[in-house]
Amino acid sequence: QVQLVESGGGLVRAGGSLRLSCVASGGFYSITMGWYRQAPGKQRELVASQSMTDGSTSYADSVKGRFFIFRENIKNGVYLQMNKVQPDDAADYYCNMKWRAHPWGETFDAWGQGTPVTVSE
């Protein structure tokens, strides 16, 4: 069974930094890992993602140059380094992994339980 466990959320002052981590367990071929966020009354949006094959990354325009995603292959993990955090970054952050049971098989989504990020001004 594929499971994602997140940690690192909490309270951060505007302009400060925070690091989120996500570790995956279970038998799988990981395709991409990434972070989404959802603020109250808003849709869930992609923040950043990274390919587990070639390491390429993508970011939402709102976080480019401030947030950085990087993987930890040994732990099957991915981190989100959040710098220069702004009030609009406050949300529940969810780790996501797209995975397959076999390299040629169907792609599935796995989600973490979510970790809250609160920003104080």
3-class DSSP state for residue 89? Answer: helix
pLDDT value, residue 70 = 93
* pLDDT digit string (tens) for the chain, length 121 residues: 899 999 999 999 999 999 999 999 987 888 999 999 999 999 999 999 999 889 999 999 999 999 999 988 777 889 999 999 999 999 999 999 999 998 889 999 999 999 999 999 8
Question: Which residues are paired to 10 by β-bridges?
Answer: 117
pLDDT value, residue 10 = 97
pLDDT value, residue 16 = 98
17 close to 8: Cβ distance less than 8 angstroms: no
Q: What are phi and psi of 88, to 5 degrees?
A: -70, -10
